Amino acid sequence: ASVLIIGVLYMNVRSSHGIELGGLDLTEEIIFSDILHSSKSYFRLAAIFNHHMVLQREPDQSVIWGWCRICDCDIKATLNNEVYAAVVTPLPESHGEDFETKWSVSFPPQEAGGPHSIYLSCATTNEHLQIKDVYFGDVYTCVGQSNMLFNVAQTFEGREKQETFNFPLLRVMSIGRLESDKEELDLSSVELPWQPASKQVIMHAELWTYFSATCWYFGKSLHEELGIPVGLIASAVNGSPLQPWVSADVMEECGREERSSVECCPTQDSVCWNAMLNPFVQLPIAGVIFYQGESNLYGATWYECGFPLFVDSWRTRAQKQVVFLVCELAPMFAPHPYVEEFRLMQAGFAAHISDLFLITTIDLGDYGSPYGDLHPRTKEDVGFRGKNIALKEIYGYDIKVLGPTMKEYQVFVQQESIITIQITYQEESIG
């Protein structure tokens, strides 16, 4: 059914469905539509939000937003019998869309849990929306190229553990490949809207589509450990170098490289940032899981400039020190002249960029992978290691997440044919 009809007498009166709509000053029957993104409505929700979604829990303030066709939208949201007024801001004339204003509602920090319904009402147009089955928990965004796109059905564990895919409080969404030559305000489409995790959702038959295995195994193990709702947003495109994922400001700062056009993959600067990140980069989240770099092996100098600025730009737009968990490039059977240099650069990022941590994968090779050794099927281990790093660095668990980590080394030449290397390890990595 496309609408839910609820009769309301006045403020703080409980409807026949047992839902308190306190604060809505209405004396007539209300029609709450559950069609949240209709192009025919005067106001609608941004595409990143939907039924079954997870919003970031305390200590963050969660926020929802959307668009209105008229300038004087009077929008209010009701959550837990409390009413919150929307902030409405006019959009520049150059945005090129059919709406005039952006509205946004911030909620005070909420404890993990649910389910909740959020009721939205626009007094100006007498339209009403209901967002159903909303939970508060921890939200993670998973970004990258083919190793992040690599889905659960392609992994070793995917076919063997299908009975472990039903988690009602683990919610997932996948954006799908989008490109734009300008910064978009909203997602033009969504490959997989928010859904509770199930075998049908996670074990998608088509390869290189939803749902991301690295993202899934990270979120699943984290949800099992914490016991709270977890939301996962996958935004990945196969074969994409970093340049499509960064903003135009980053490209201006780092300069442009000549790259050959590849039919399968986006190569134009900023097109993925514009279409797949900018529309929701301000969303409060717990962290980012990033698995990318294979397509930049011949451009490490540019990457050394571009990646730190990519992290900075995300944090600036989000107005938060977002945590990044970066996956080390997987081992490759065929020798590559730059892959070791690239991994060292990734380790340097982890050492010098605050709240950025490296997920080690060098021992997780899969030289028999039917998808090429560049794409190992060992994604469950990658997700599990990422979860442990999150438990230590985000949630304060007292656990070891790395093996012995070198602090310094000395080389001693004892004889012409004998060399001794003495390694000193960081104390906190031994135990």
Residues 254-271 have a mean pLDDT of 80
Minimum mean pLDDT range among 187-201, 382-396, 400-414: 400-414
pLDDT for the residue numbered 431: 52
CA 167/CA 158 separation, integer angstroms: 15
End-to-end CA distance of the chain: 58
Query: Residues 6 or more apart from 238 whose CB is under 8 A from it?
Result: 145, 146, 149, 208, 264, 265
0.95 cut: is pTM over it? no
pLDDT at 157: 82
Give the lowest-confidence range in 44-48, 80-84, 173-177, 259-263. 259-263
Burial of 336 (0-12, 13-18, 19+ CB in 10 A): middle
Q: How confident is the model at residue 7 (pLDDT cuts 50, 70, 90)?
A: very low
Length of the chain: 431
Rounded Cα gap, residues 214 and 382, in angstroms: 6
pLDDT for 11 equals: 30
Q: Is 219 helix (H, G, I), strand (E, B) or coil?
A: helix
Q: Is the pLDDT of residue 21 over 60?
A: no
pLDDT at 1: 38
Least confident of 8-12, 168-172, 381-385: 8-12
The confidence band for 273, taking pLDDT boundaries of 50, 70 and 90, is: very high
Q: What are phi and psi of 323, to 5 degrees?
A: -80, 135
CA 302 vs. chain centroid, Å, equals: 24
Residue 261: what pLDDT?
61
Phi and psi for 4 in degrees, rounded to 5? -125, 120
Average pLDDT over every residue of 172-188: 96
| Confidence label for 94 from pLDDT (cuts 50, 70 and 90) | low
113: left (phi > 0), else alpha (psi -120 to 50), else beta? Answer: left
pLDDT(17) > 60: no
Structural domains in the chain, CATH included, are 3-134 (2.60.40), 135-393 (3.40.50.1110)
For 317-361, how does the pLDDT look when each residue is reduced to its tens digit (9 = 90+)? Answer: 999 999 999 999 998 877 778 899 999 999 999 999 999 999 999
pLDDT in tens, 286-325: 999 999 999 999 888 899 999 999 999 999 999 999 999 9
